[in-house]
Amino acid sequence: MIEHMPIPRAVAVVVDGARVLIIKRFLRLGSSEACPMCQAYGERGPMCLGHHYAVLPGGHVEEGEAAGAAARRELYEETTLEGRVDRLLWKGRHNRRPASYFLMADVTGTPVLSGEEAAEHGPDNSFELMWVTAKEFDALNLHPADIREPLAALLRHGDRPS
C-alpha cells in the first residue's frame, strides 16, 4: 500500500504593533455536505450548516518550493502584501498537515483580499482580512487553536522582525 504524505502548509505571520493579520471566514454548507472543520477534528455536529473561523494567511507548499518562499507567495496571493521572511517562528499542524509559521518583515502595501479567497467570496463563502489583537482569538475561532498562545506571546512580548 502506498501512503501519501500530507502536503505541507506555509503560514505568514504579519504583525503590526499588538495586532496580527488574519483572514476571517464563514463557510455555509448544505445539510448534506461535510464540514471541513468538523472533518479535520473528527467531530461533526448533526446540524452543521457552516462555520465561522479565522486563519493566518498561508497555504500549500508547492513541489520543489521552500516553505519560506511559499509563505511569501501565499501572503501576496491572499492579501496583495509583499514582505520578506524574517525567521521561522514555530512548526505545528494544520488540519493534520505539517505547518511552518514564518514571521514576516518589511511588509509593504495595503491588505486587499485577493486570489482564490476573493474569487470564492460570496454570501455562503465569505472572507475578510482583519487586524486583530490576542484578546479576539477565541471569539474569532482562530484555527488551529494551538497557535493562539504562542501567537499571543509573540504579540505580548513585542518580538518583532529583525
Residue 161 in any domain: the answer is no
Domain span holding position 124: 9-18+28-156
Whole-structure pTM value:
0.84
Asked whether the beta carbons of 13 and 152 are under 8 A apart, the reply is no
Residue 106 in any domain: the answer is yes
Dist. CA 77–CA 60, nearest whole Å: 12
Q: pLDDT (tens digit, 9 = 90+) per residue, 92-142?
A: 988 778 999 999 999 999 999 998 888 877 777 788 999 999 999 988 888
Residue 4 in any domain: the answer is no
Asked whether the beta carbons of 99 and 86 are under 8 A apart, the reply is no
Residue 61 in any domain: the answer is yes
Q: How many domains does the chain have?
A: 1
Helix (H, G, I), strand (E, B) or coil at 106: strand
Residue 114 in any domain: the answer is yes
What's the chain's length in residues?
A: 162
What CATH number did the domain enclosing 46 receive?
3.90.79.10
